[in-house]
Amino acid sequence: MIINVFLIIIILKMMVMEMRILKFSANSNRPNDGQDENRVVFDMLEISPVEYQNKKNNGWDTFLLDVRRADEEEITRISGTDLRIEHLLIPDRVSELPKDKDIVVYCRSGFRSAAVTRFLSELGIFSGNIYNLRGGIHEWSDTVDNNIIKY
C-alpha cells in the first residue's frame, strides 16, 4: 500500500517575518527509493494557550520566553514572561536560557516562535522540552485573556 506523504516546505522570510507552508503530495507512481515514507523531518512540540495556562495553574514549572521585538513588548506581554530575547538574537544569547526546565516560546502569532523552537530543539543541549505557544499573543488574547491587546 502506497502511503501518501505530505512534504511540508517552510519558507521563512526573516526580513518581513513571513512564513508560508506549501504542501506537496508524494508521487504515488514513483518507484520506492528505499527511504521511509513515514519519516518525520521535524516534529515540533506545540502547546495551546489554554493548555499552557491550565498546566501552569497546576504547578508546571516552566520558563516563558518572548521572542518579539522590544517595541512589541511595550504594546503588551503575557504575565509571567521570564525573558524577552528578539528572535534574531537567540543564537547569541542561548546561554541565558535554562537548560533543565521546559521552555515555552511565544511571539505575536506563532511563526517566529516556531522558528526559535525548532532552532533550540535542534541544538540538543536542553534536558527540558521546548514548546511553541500556538497562535502566540493573538491566540492568548482570544482564548485566555482578552485584556491582552492584539496588534
Which residues have a catalytic role annotated? 107
* Amino acid (1-letter code) at residue 22: L
Q: Which residues contact 21 (CB under 8 A, 6 or more apart)?
A: 8, 9, 10
126: nearest Cα among 96, 88, 98: 98
What torsion, rounded to 10 degrees, do the Cα atoms 56, 46, 143, 14 define?
Answer: 120
> What Cα–Cα distance (Å) separates residue 149 from each residue in 12, 126, 146?
25, 32, 7
Contact (CB, 8 A) for 60 and 128: no
